[in-house]
């Protein structure tokens, strides 16, 4: 088990095999997400503390080169986890996935907009704004996104060497 990232006390580890993932997740009384993928090529584990108790979520991944991401929603008992084309809303109390969103392309990143209780899902072919429950607020479709940056009221996307500024309020181009 190799540590890949630590982000806000969420640890992401990579494991060598599905059997190691199953064993570790079972030992820690966790769950595994990504069971619906076709090619199980990469195996990850998120570990985090909830009320001083270690929680574990295993991740089956197709191995596209984008590691899973996880964020904790402030003042909510929810973590948002992404892998491949899926975004999972995980209840940290009941230890179950309460919502799963399927995107049209690979998920690059998941970002919390805390003052508005929204999530930005940055995908290969667009951006989605979701509520902390997973309901869609708006969606912006595009060609392949080469880079993105978040600013106070908008997100800057670089698509085919051209900058596009997308309003965080409504997803429209500024």
> Distances from the Cα of 62 to the Cαs of 59, 95, 126, in angstroms?
10, 23, 20
Q: 0.75 exceeded by the pTM? A: yes
Sequence ranges of the domains in the chain: 1-102, 104-174
SS3 24: helix
Residue with tokens 């800057």: 156
Closest CA to 79 of 30, 126, 21: 30
Residue with tokens 């907009």: 113
Give pLDDT, residue 52.
81
Q: Could you read off the pLDDT of 30-73 as tens digits, one per residue?
A: 999 999 888 999 999 999 988 788 899 999 999 999 999 999 98
Q: Could you read off the pLDDT of 84-122 as tens digits, one per residue?
A: 999 999 999 899 999 999 999 999 999 998 677 899 999
For 104-174, CATH gives 2.40.10.480
Q: How far apart are CA 101 and CA 119, in angstroms?
A: 12
- Residue 50 contacts residue 95 (beta carbons within 8 Å): no
- Give the CA dihedral 146, 151, 155, 158, nearest 10 degrees: -30
Q: How far apart are CA 138 and CA 45, in angstroms?
A: 30
Provide mean pLDDT across the span 9-18.
Answer: 95
Residue with tokens 């806000």: 8
Q: How far apart are CA 57 and CA 3, in angstroms?
A: 14
Could you tell me where the DSSP H helices lie in the chain?
18-27
Closest CA to 66 of 93, 34, 90: 34
- Residue 80 contacts residue 7 (beta carbons within 8 Å): no
Q: How far apart are CA 105 and CA 139, in angstroms?
A: 13
- Give the CA dihedral 83, 132, 27, 67, nearest 10 degrees: 20
């Amino acid at each position: 088990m190799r540590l890949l990232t630590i982000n806000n006390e969420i640890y992401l580890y990579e494991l060598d095999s599905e059997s190691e993932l199953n064993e570790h997740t079972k030992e820690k009384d966790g769950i595994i997400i990504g069971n619906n993928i076709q090619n199980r090529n990469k195996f990850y584990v998120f570990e985090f503390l909830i009320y001083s108790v270690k929680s574990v979520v295993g991740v089956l991944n197709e191995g596209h080169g984008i590691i899973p991401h996880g964020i904790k929603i402030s003042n909510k008992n929810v973590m948002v986890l992404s892998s491949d084309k899926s975004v999972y809303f995980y209840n940290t109390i009941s230890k179950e996935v309460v919502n799963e969103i399927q995107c049209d392309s690979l998920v690059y990143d998941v970002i919390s907009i805390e003052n508005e209780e929204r999530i930005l899902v940055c995908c290969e072919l667009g951006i989605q704004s979701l509520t902390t429950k997973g309901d869609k607020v708006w969606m912006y479709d595009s060609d392949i996104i080469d880079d993105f940056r978040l600013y106070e009221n908008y997100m800057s996307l670089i698509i085919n060497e051209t900058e596009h500024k997308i309003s965080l309020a409504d997803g429209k181009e500024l």
